[in-house]
Amino acid sequence: CPISRGQACIRGVGRTSTTPGALSAYQDKLRTMEDLPHVRQLELLYRMVFQGFHNRLHELQILEKQLYGPIYVSGFKVVAVNSPQLLEELLRKDQKFPSRGDMTLWTEYRDMSGLGYGPFTEEGERWYQLRAVLNKRMLHPKDSAQYGGIINEVVADFNKRIRYLRQLSPTGDLVPDVSKEFYMFSLEGISAILFETRLGCLEEEIPAGTGEFISSIAQMFSYSMPVAALPKWSRSLLPYWRRYIAGWEGIFSFAKTLINKKMEDIQQRLDKDQDVQGGYLTYLLSYTQMSAKDVYASITELLLAGVDTTSNTLTWTLYQLSKNPKVQDRLYEEVSTSLPADQIPTAAEVTRLPYLRAVIRETLRMYPVVPMNGRHMTERPVSVGGYLFPEKTSFGFSHYAMSYDQDVFPEPFTFKPERWLRDGRQKPNPFGSIPFGFGVRGCVGRRIAELEMYLVLFQLIRQFEVKANPRTGDLKSINRTVLVPDKKLNLHFAGIRTESFCLFLKTFL
């Protein structure tokens, strides 16, 4: 452990390895990858460049399914899996240490700087051991529930900020660029959990260090596209690589400063023989055998994975609620009757509300923030849909197209949270929409993300009626690694709902 006092550290995981199942004699009858429809690289490039799919690759999944069926080889030798049944078949045969494939874009800077890998970038046995440590205090709903109090503090600040912004507008209720506000909310929320420190993202004046950190994250993400697309030899000639690396430097230096500060605090307490108690970072630093290098890498990756995902989902949710007043009314009915108006919901209370959960579930169906995921099968051949694929085959999952498969989701373009209610109706095939992934490599932050979204949505809808701004028009989703709106979303947060006014008075005055 980076800090120790003889506490039990979590040791390597001793899971017995499963012998890869030998394929049966029936294997001879399986067809091969060559028998599948192939999308030629030129075709793909044509569609991307001339048909404008370069930033709408998720929509291309729908077209490709119509043209090539549920499984085909796409331009860059990736096997596209485009039906829930085939996806289930493949994921149930996943490796003991699943892999999503090449992560060099995220690892190069760390290799250059002697930094470690986290859950996103690590592979094999080391990844497995890392996840065993990171999952604790995070993955189980009971673990994430302990962060309800911290998240509610952030929600309270977010409410204040929304009230402040709406009163600045000429109409007295318009909040411009809601995505940006949710970004700040998500960054503040996840940092409060991971660093056990408030960054001040929701303050009127963002502290200088926090501002630089936010710019570094934006810089790293925005230069990752040209860096990935351009050849390595161009790096010394063009500015992109240098700026990309500067982004990573800013991110790591900020994270290290906060983590080092926590380590010092803990060490001081230990020196005085005082008890060490705290949240997630304290747990990693004091109760596990993770090295400081691993803690820097893991915390940084958790943070990066936990901001755009949650914030964009919240943006899409409010967008859909503003377009579907009946759904919003039903949600309001649920949140306003579930608790007294002056009571702030706890994690346990908020996760019990079926319609609130269904609203988020439906948003993630229509806007799976990670619209394409995949697996690289390194260990052994695998059969799917009657085809045999050799080891080292890469599979790409067309989650977006599956989410709009009308056999699984009737009226797929309609926002219908009801389809997720467990009130006797037939449940959709669960593999039609798996926004947090699947299995041991699935999203580690799922429960925290859900909790953040439930708590903030509960309080927003209890207070305001969210209305579309006619000038904004319809939003389309574009793919920037995650699905984001193609333009800014401005929304009216109309009239403070009467029931909540006393809550407001109680909380803020």
| Selected binder of ligand HEM within 247, 432, 435, 485 (CB under 6 A) | 435
Please give the single-letter amino acid code of residue 271.
D
- The nearest distance, CB 248 to ligand HEM, in angstroms, is 17
The contact mask relative to ligand HEM for 40-79 (x = CB under 6 A, - = no) is ----------------------------------------
Within 178-207, which residues bind ligand HEM (CB under 6 A)? 190
Closest distance to ligand HEM from the beta carbon of 436 (Å): 5
318 binds ligand HEM (CB under 6 A): no
Of the residues 129, 210, 219, 310, which one makes contact with ligand HEM according to CB under 6 A: 310
Q: Binding of ligand HEM at residue 301 (CB under 6 A)?
A: yes
How far is Cα 313 from Cα 456, in angstroms, rounded to an integer? 12
Structure tokens at 369: 């923030």
Instruction: Note whether 373 binds ligand HEM by CB under 6 A.
Output: yes
CA distance 430 to 433: 6
Contact 87, 405 (CB under 8 A): no
State the Cα–Cα distance between residues 184 and 192, nearest whole angstrom. 12
Q: Which is nearer to ligand HEM, 81 or 174 (CB)?
A: 81
DSSP strands (E only) in 400-505: 465-468, 477-480, 482-485, 491-494
Query: What's the rounded Cα separation, in Å, for the pair 19 and 38?
Result: 32
Tell me: does residue 269 bind ligand HEM (CB under 6 A).
no
Spell out, one character per residue from 438 to 477, where the chain touches ligand HEM: x when CB under 6 A holds, - when not: x--xxxxx--xx----------------------------
Nearer to ligand HEM, 191 or 500 (CB): 191
Number of chain residues interacting with ligand HEM (CB under 6 A): 26
Identify which of residues 36 and 190 has a Cβ nearer to ligand HEM in the complex.
Answer: 190
Judge contact between 461 and 497, C-beta under 8 A. Answer: no
Q: How far apart are CA 384 and CA 377, in angstroms?
A: 12
Q: Judge whether 9 is annotated as a binding position.
A: no
Looking at 100, 126, 160, 243, which residue binds ligand HEM (CB under 6 A)? 100
Which SS3 state, helix, strand or coil, does residue 447 take? helix
| Cβ proximity to ligand HEM, 117 vs 240, nearer residue | 117
The correct pick among 116, 396, 417, 437 for binding ligand HEM (CB under 6 A) is 437
- Burial of residue 425 (number of CB atoms within 10 Å: 0-12, 13-18, 19+): exposed
CB of 136 to ligand HEM, least distance (A): 13
With a CB cutoff of 8 Å and minimum separation 6, the contacts of 169 are 175, 176
Residue 372 or 503 having the CB closest to ligand HEM: 372
- Of the candidates 193, 213, 219, the one whose C-alpha atom is nearest the C-alpha of residue 201 is 213
What is the 3 state secondary structure string of 39-56?
CCHHHHHHHHHCCCCCCC
CA dihedral 76, 79, 81, 82 (to 10 degrees): 50
Contact status: 370 vs ligand HEM (CB under 6 A): yes
Residues 131-160 that bind ligand HEM (CB under 6 A): 131
Asked whether position 369 contacts ligand HEM by CB under 6 A, the answer is: yes
Query: Per CB under 6 A, does 284 bind ligand HEM?
Result: no
Q: Which of 72, 117, 120, 454 binds ligand HEM (CB under 6 A)?
A: 120
Can residue 371 be called a binding residue for ligand HEM (CB under 6 A)? Answer: no
Tokens of 373: 């995921």
* Nearer of residues 147 and 332 to ligand HEM, judged by Cβ: 147
Neighbours of 141 (CB within 10 A): 14
Indicate the helix (H) or strand (E) that contains 68: helix 57-68
Report the Cα 119 to chain-centroid distance in Å: 14
What's the rounded Cα separation, in Å, for the pair 71 and 65?
A: 8
In the complex, the residues that contact ligand HEM under the rule CB under 6 A are 100, 119-120, 131, 190, 301-302, 305-306, 309-310, 313, 369-370, 373, 435-438, 441-445, 448-449
Which residue ranges are tagged as binding site for heme?
A: 443
Output the known binding site: 443
